[in-house]
Amino acid sequence: MHPPVRLVAIDVDGTLLPDIGRALRPRVGRALKSAQEAGITVAIATGRRPAFTVPLLTGHGLRADTPLLACNGALVRTLGGEVIEDCLLPSSVARGLCGLLRPFGALVFTFDRPGRRDLVLEDLAQVHAQIALWVEANRNEIEVVKPLESALVDGDDPIQGLVAGRLSQIRAAEEAVKASEWSASCACARTAYPARDMAILDLLPAGVSKGRALQRLAARLGVERKETMAIGDNWNDVDMLEWAGQGVIMGNAAADLRALGKLRGWKQAPPNGQDGVAVVLEAAVAGCAAKP
């Protein structure tokens, strides 16, 4: 029997968001607010940048101190913009990854530098061909630099990089990083979309992941592992699902991930298009109310 939930980390794409549409469904928005009102700390754990995440949550009554584990845990902020924790990818490592990973897909590096564009790439057409919706949503923040290495200057380090391509390309890219001289300096987080034969490999500072960020947040809040829940739908969510005492895999996750969830003892939520997060949070709130 699990204890009542005191902390829940929730992925965004494929979890909070429906597959069609760029806004939270009303029931999901209400469930987030109700969970906070019940005393549960709601943390948003996403591969997105804070600037690409905050607008999704605005207007749902969430508190300014809501934690955002952004960029797969490399940046930890509050919804109100307070900086909790940062971890950057050394530019020297990023330059090496450029040469290693160009053959596998489209490369982008993300920065956190107010007053300048945050997203740097060298081939806009190539990136657009792989992740067109992302390009359109972020167009005002994109800077094209050729060669990409010239944007990666020591002392002006990026938060993370990504390479986007076909499933087979990204699997090969991940293996290439693991076998390279950069393996000890770079963590990888893969997000796969089998129906579209497309995947993204996030290139993160060593030791960074959603799971590690969740573990550190729980320690700061004095919340035990068994009182922590994580909800996600993709491979970059696996480490936080495994660390949390109560893991929940979405019903829309790929079949191999749902099979892994059964082996790990994770619960399965309804799909994102059926308000799966709301169903889970409503049950967690009811569990809090039943606590003596």
In a domain, 180, yes or no: yes
8-67, pLDDT tens digit by residue? 999 999 999 998 778 999 999 999 999 999 999 999 999 999 989 999 999 999 999 999
Whether residues 134 and 268 fall in one domain:
no
Whether residues 122 and 160 fall in one domain:
yes
Backbone φ and ψ for 269, nearest 5 degrees, come out as -90, 160
In a domain, 179, yes or no: yes
pTM: 0.93
- Give me the domain span that covers residue 275: 7-86+209-290
Place of tokens 């799909």: 271
Q: Looking at residues 199-221, what average pLDDT do you find?
A: 97
Judged against a pLDDT cut of 90, whether residue 2 lies above it is answered with no
Judged against a pLDDT cut of 70, whether residue 106 lies above it is answered with yes
Q: pLDDT tier at 292 (50, 70, 90 boundaries)?
A: low
Among 96, 98, 74, residue whose Cα is nearest residue 85: 74
**Residue where one domain finishes, among candidates 190, 205, 220:** 205
For the chain, give the longest Cα–Cα distance. Answer: 62
215-260, pLDDT tens digit by residue? 999 999 999 999 999 999 999 999 999 999 999 999 999 999 999 9
Judged against a pLDDT cut of 70, whether residue 291 lies above it is answered with no
Judged against a pLDDT cut of 60, whether residue 284 lies above it is answered with yes
Whether residues 73 and 117 fall in one domain:
no
CATH code for the domain of 19: 3.40.50.1000
Whether residues 174 and 96 fall in one domain:
yes
Judged against a pLDDT cut of 80, whether residue 1 lies above it is answered with no
Among 223, 206, 279, 203, residue whose Cα is nearest residue 43: 223
Whether residues 243 and 215 fall in one domain:
yes
pLDDT-above-70 percentage for the chain: 99
- Contacts with 241 (C-beta within 8 Å, 6 or more apart), sequence order: 211, 230, 232, 247, 248, 249, 261, 264, 266
pLDDT-above-90 percentage for the chain: 87
Per the CB < 8 A criterion, the answer to whether 110 and 92 are in contact is no
Q: What's the number of domains the chain is made of?
A: 2
